Homo-oligomer: A and B are copies of this chain.
Amino acid sequence: MGARRATISDVAREAGVSPSTASVVFSGKTPVSTQTRARVLAAAERLGYSGPDPRAASLRTGRSGIVGVVFEEHLGDTFLDPVKTVMMDGLADAVAPLGAGLLLLRDHDPAGVGASLTTAPLDAAVLIGCSGMLRESLSVVHTRGIPVVVIEGDAGADVPRIDLDNREAQRQAASHLRSLGHERVVVLSLPIRTDWVPGWVPETAGIEIDVTRERRDGARDVFPAAPVYAAAASSIDEGLAAGRALLADPATRPTAVIAQSDLLAAGVIRAAEEAGLDVPRDLSVTGFDGIEVDGLAPYELTTLVQPAAEKGRAAGAAVAAMLDGRDAASIRFTCAFREGNTSALAPGAAPPASGPVDSGG
């Protein structure tokens, strides 16, 4: 093997054309005669040339074809969440036409080593739910002059933002429960801050995580006095543990649980089964997300279906727009209420006059 890789100039020389002609053969930006193209391709073949060096090309064009996706947690934790997974899929779809790929970046880079917002050759960045380091990440990206989009976070007016109307959505589920006659309702929430230990949330406690707060507010719009129990994470096991705590005392047991995620809801259902309660006869449970919870059949959650893939695609579209010099608008998606078989008339309640579903607030 030669000491050095062939460059486009080598190919051009071998083919007897100029470098620019050879370049054009590969980029296709300008018409080239069939003959010339064939000669160049043949020369490339002979020299084992596999196309323009992306590094050099990106310096020249100013585009690397890479969109950074910044997470605040470990990848494993992130992808455990089906919603994020689906969202990533949507995002990947949306940036593909751009000729771009997704670079996984961790917000909290332990040693300051590793690819980061500052050192990676990014065309754009997507920040996902980065509540904490958000400001820092933003300033980095801003001084680098890189277009940025935020999903589920607030980065100020000049940064396009893709999110959900969590409050309105959660309000719908709560209204649904109220119309079914429920009064003793508890909210099983996502963590209220990082490193949260599962337990009741005091009224005086501030809720640092936006999603958690917004959904709680939605529930409170309908049930102002509903207590909030926050889990440590969104998983069936966490939901199960919380459910046990919630259902432990028959005297104070709620007739409905508003869970802030489908996984938590699934856990509550398991806890109810354990406690010998029938869902939805003895206990109604609502979820949030609208994912397929593997293994939950035959239950079909009453839940809010969030357009996860759409969110990803919207973020991709926003990136595309900004890269194109246009500016991108923020988008707030709404969730679709879906009634499953995990919610029913409150025990002892009279049927509502106007049917079980009432999404008025």
**Using an 8 Å CB-CB cutoff, how does the interface string of A66-103 with B read, 1 for contact, 0 for none?**
10100000111001101001101100100111111111
Query: Which B residues touch A122, using CB under 8 A?
Result: 54
Q: What number of copies of this chain does the assembly contain? A: 2
A66 touches B140 (CB 8 A): no
Query: Which B residues touch A101, using CB under 8 A?
Result: 68, 103-105, 114-116, 120
How near does chain B come to A215, taking the closest CB pair, in angstroms? 21
A56 on interface, CB distance cutoff 8 Å: yes
**Complex alpha-carbon distance, A172 and B104, angstroms:** 37
* Tally of contact residues, A, Cβ under 8 A: 66
Query: Which chain A residues (101-115) contact chain B, with CB distance < 8 Å?
Result: 101-106, 109-111, 113-115
**Complex alpha-carbon distance, A79 and B240, angstroms:** 23
A121 touches B121 (CB 8 A): yes
A58 on interface, CB distance cutoff 8 Å: yes
How near does chain B come to A259, taking the closest CB pair, in angstroms? 14
**Complex alpha-carbon distance, A53 and B119, angstroms:** 8
A267 touches B295 (CB 8 A): yes
Please give me the residue from chain B that is nearest to A239 by CB atom: B295
* Residue from the set A51, A95, A102 with the largest chain B CB neighbour count within 10 Å: A102
Given A240-B295, A270-B295: A140 and B50 interface contact (C-beta under 8 Å): yes
Query: Which chain A residues (176-197) contact chain B, with CB distance < 8 Å?
Result: none
A66 touches B120 (CB 8 A): yes
B295 touches A50 (CB 8 A): no
A340 on interface, CB distance cutoff 8 Å: no
Query: Which B residues touch A103, using CB under 8 A?
Result: 66, 101-104
A350 on interface, CB distance cutoff 8 Å: no
**Complex alpha-carbon distance, A318 and B55, angstroms:** 23
A266 on interface, CB distance cutoff 8 Å: yes
Contact of A295 among B97, B105, B237 (CB under 8 A): B237
How near does chain B come to A326, taking the closest CB pair, in angstroms? 18
A145 on interface, CB distance cutoff 8 Å: yes
A97 touches B120 (CB 8 A): no
A113 touches B85 (CB 8 A): no
B140 touches A114 (CB 8 A): no
A335 on interface, CB distance cutoff 8 Å: no
B54 touches A120 (CB 8 A): yes
How near does chain B come to A10, taking the closest CB pair, in angstroms? 14
How near does chain B come to A94, taking the closest CB pair, in angstroms? 11
Closest 6 CB pairs of A and B: A101-B115, A236-B295, A96-B114, A54-B121, A76-B89, A79-B79
Contacts A59-B59, A76-B86, A100-B115 known; list 20 others, CB within 8 Å.
Answer: A50-B140, A54-B64, A55-B55, A55-B62, A65-B120, A75-B89, A80-B82, A80-B85, A92-B106, A96-B106, A96-B111, A96-B114, A98-B114, A100-B114, A101-B115, A102-B103, A121-B121, A235-B295, A236-B294, A240-B297
